Chains A and B, each alone.
Chain A
Amino acid sequence: MTPTLAGRLQTRVVVVGVVGSLWTLLVTLAIPGDASLADKYQVTFRAMALVVLLGVGWELLYHGLQQFRWEKDWPTLFGLLTGVNEGIGVWIVLAAILPADLNVTALQFLVHFVTTWLVVWLWLNGPMRVVALRWRFRGGRLV
């Protein structure tokens, strides 16, 4: 899929939101640590929301960078590697906004974020086209 700006934003909000949240529901069960499951969900869903919210900003940047590419495309590898900068961004903001009674270790964050990023990335590189037949021809737009 070669994204347009509208396609990037829609894909980010809808697909990352839905697929990422479903995965978060599952993977939080397996996150190590003594905190209650309710507390863990409070943390992981905050992280998930940040992936979407901060992601809108990131998408604007990626779209700008994409303009320097002749093909006006966004290689698969970029979609994977941008997990690094985004992960750092989410970690920093998450630490800043977490209420005092919640905390998260780097390991807990990594288990959640890395697996979610991979699941969403894999989903976008294959199964997404089955659910949304026209998505790849519309630059990632859903509506």
Chain B
Amino acid sequence: MTNGGTDPGPGATRRLGGAGGDLTPQLVAQEWLDDTMLEAAGIPVHDVPLVTVGGGLGSFALVDYLRVAGVPADRIAVLGINQKPWQTYAYLARNSQIPEHERLRSDSGSVMDNIWGFPSYAVREAFAAGSLRGFAAPLWTVLTEPILTDYYTPQAGQVYASVDREAARIGWSGMLHEGQVRMVRRRQGGGYFTILTPPAGTTPTKRVAFRSTYVHVAVGYPGVKFLDDLQEYRERHQDFSRVVNAYEPHDHVYEELRARPGTVVVRGSGIVASRILQRLIDDRDRHGAQTTIWHLFRTYVAGPQGDSVFGRRPGKDGFAYQAFNFPKAAWGGQLRNTLLKLAPEDRPGFIRTTGGTNTAPRRSWREQLDRGRREGFYRTHVGSVGSVEPGPDGTTVTRIESKDGAILQVEANFIIDATGLEAGVREHRLLADLLDHTGARVNPLGRLDASPEFVLTGTESPPGKMYASGSITLGSYYSPVDSFLGLQYAGLQIADDLARIGFAPRIGPFRSVRQWWKWMRNAPP
């Protein structure tokens, strides 16, 4: 592997020049960088064939495939701010009320630490159980899901622990370089420069550069987005305690509602809202909280959606129901094939119809809400929010206009924005930089345009290629990008593309079986 013929070998580092080691306005303005520019700026350069930016589960999925394929650890650099690949995921999950013992919305075979999906989470949970009942329950669930039982879903903590084991096995910490990636620019002569800002004081210079032939971008959500009216309320009244987003830390809400009776407004009807509702009702059931919940729907799903019997999604009580964020066949079945063949302009509609706002039809959640309706502590209202204003005694007043023009005013102690909205890709500094300076383009859904192999279109720097995975690619050729199995799918497409180029061996049946056996023995790949 060469970087335009200048690669001095994996892991080599050259300290170039004598200037300050920071980006200069001239450098930032360049679309293409050459070696002398970084030398002049005094930024040290590490040579490594492949860089993955993010260091989260998206990076992990790709690196796991590459390591299993036989790529040595010193040919891969992982750039990110966390030591463990699951840290950002766990942060968002915890805030949205999925602590380690709670179950995720992910199926048994979407096994983050094992590229084969076998043994699955359910099988492992069964064999780790200390009782016959503990052994049989997960197996019975995967056998009968979703006909007689709800889908099996793994506990968050099981996922994190197993990723830790695999990270240790593949030498993750040796590939990791901590820091924030400021930009990725194409290199004159081929490949890319990735500019990293390591934690202050850990390196002699403020920035370090990685010169690589391949770059993979997996930075997760560009950011969390508030509903506009709630954002405006927060900014105008500088109130960040009464109006909260489900993805930010907001435990004070539950603590206060347990301490004294109160009212909370929940906005949104997706999986995040379901979690929040569960937590609020669990607190009533287990800790005697006297919380009244007002659940506001902008769009109320009263029944199944869709005109054709061949495409009708279940729905009831305001929610659109499906087990996972997309129908199962979007990951590897006929819906994956459909999207691959659709014209670009038809993709957003298809993605909205099969995805969009939806939640899992769990029996326990439906029981809680049914009880809430009967007992009057769970109330729903449909309409659009006209305004949110401060009310008496430190409350908020939400004014909701129904379709028929009726106005409802709800006084509440807290408002939780559980819409789970994601910010646009431009909100993320690195992604905006890729669009402005590195040739990346947006797809019909406004995210980064990627090929079926997850190559970012427009960013080619021959022989170099830039890839991306995760939610930033939604709207390209694969819909469930924001899921464990979706990250693994992307990782496999990228690893296979790199195999076609010659960077990595392709994982064929024999290597696959040999490597799987190593995984079973927890031996290095």
A residues whose Cβ falls under 8 Å from a Cβ of B: 1-5, 7, 67-68, 70-73, 75-78, 80, 126-127, 129-134, 136-139
Which of B43-51, B142-150, B236-244, B427-435 lies on the face that meets chain A? B142-150
B333 at the interface (CB under 8 A from A): yes
A132 to B309, Cβ gap below 8 A? no
- Whether the pair B322, A2 counts as a contact (CB closer than 8 A) is no
Contacts A76-B143, A80-B143, A126-B119 given; does A131 touch B512 at CB 8 Å: yes
B314 interface contact, C-beta 8 A: yes
Distance between A117 CB and nearest chain B CB, rounded to angstroms: 15
* A131 and B492 contact, Cβ closer than 8 Å, known pairs A4-B333, A72-B328, A136-B117: no
Query: In the bound complex, do residue A133 and residue B118 qualify as a contact, i.e. CB atoms below 8 Å apart?
Result: no
CB-defined A-B contacts under 8 Å, sample of 16: A1-B332, A1-B333, A2-B329, A2-B333, A4-B333, A70-B306, A70-B313, A72-B333, A73-B327, A75-B146, A77-B145, A77-B147, A133-B116, A133-B507, A137-B331, A139-B329
Nearest 3 pairs of A and B residues by beta carbon: A2-B333, A72-B329, A73-B328
CA–CA, A76 and B142, complex, Å: 8
The answer on a CB contact under 8 Å between A73 and B329 is yes
Inter-chain contacts of B437 with A (CB < 8 A): none
B contact residues vs A (CB 8 Å cutoff): 109, 115-120, 123, 142-148, 306, 309-314, 322-323, 327-329, 331-337, 489, 492, 496, 507, 509, 512-513, 516
Q: Told that A71-B322, A127-B118 touch, could you supply 6 new A-B pairs with CB distance under 8 A?
A: A70-B313, A73-B327, A129-B116, A132-B512, A136-B109, A139-B329
Do A130 and B512 touch across chains, with their CB atoms under 8 A apart? Answer: yes
Residues of B within 8 A of A7 (CB): 333
Q: Kindly identify which residue among B115, B314, B334 contacts A70, using a CB–CB cutoff of 8 Å.
A: B314
Is the pair A72, B334 in contact by a Cβ cutoff of 8 Å?
Answer: yes
Bound CA–CA A133/B495 (angstroms): 12
Given contacts A2-B332, A76-B143, A130-B512, contact A67 B337 (CB under 8 A): no
**A76-B145, A134-B492, A137-B489 known; A3 and B309 CB under 8 Å?**
no
Once the chains bind, are A137 and B492 in contact (CB under 8 Å)?
yes
Residues on the A chain within 8 Å of B145, using CB: 75-77
B313's closest neighbor in chain A, by CB?
A: A70
Is the CB–CB distance between A70 and B327 below 8 Å?
yes
Contact (Cβ within 8 A) B334 A130: no
Q: Which of A70, A132, A139 has a CB less than 8 Å from the CB of B337? A: A139
Q: Which residues of B contact A73 (CB under 8 A)?
A: 327-329, 333
Q: A127-B118, A132-B509 are in contact. Are A4 and B146 (CB under 8 A)?
A: no
The complex places the Cα of A72 from the Cα of B444 at a distance, in Å, of 25
With both beta carbons as reference points, the residue of chain B lying nearest to A75 in the complex is identified as B147
Say yes or no: B328 contacts A71, CB within 8 Å.
yes
**CB of B476, distance to nearest CB on chain A (Å):** 16
A115 to B145 Cα, complex, angstroms: 23
Task: Given A3-B333, A70-B313, A139-B337, answer yes or no on A131-B328 (Cβ-Cβ < 8 Å).
Answer: no
A139 to B507, CA, bound (A): 19
Q: CA of A133 to CA of B507 in the docked complex: distance in angstroms?
A: 8
Q: Which residues of B contact A78 (CB under 8 A)?
A: 147
A129 adjacent to B117 (CB under 8 Å): yes
Residues of B within 8 A of A5 (CB): 334
Query: What's the least CB distance linking A106 to chain B, in Å?
Result: 26
Bound-complex Cα distance A76 to B120 (A): 14
- Smallest CB gap from A68: residue in B: B309
Residue numbers in A under 8 Å from B309 (CB-CB): 68
The docked-state distance in angstroms from the alpha carbon of A15 to that of B218 is: 36
Is the Cβ of B116 less than 8 Å from the Cβ of A130?
A: yes
CA distance A3 to B333 in the complex (A): 5
Given A126-B119, A129-B117, CB of A72 within 8 Å of CB of B144: no
By the criterion CB–CB under 8 Å, are A133 and B322 in contact? Answer: no
Residues in A whose Cβ lies below 8 Å from that of B313: 70
Task: Evaluate contact between B119 and A77: CB separation under 8 angstroms.
Answer: no
A67 to B516, CA, bound (A): 34
Taking a contact as CB atoms under 8 Å apart, the answer to whether B327 and A137 are in contact is no
Task: Give the residue of B144, B334, B337 whose beta carbon is less than 8 angstroms from that of A77.
Answer: B144
A126 B118 Cβ-Cβ under 8 A = yes
A4, B334: Cβ atoms closer than 8 Å: yes
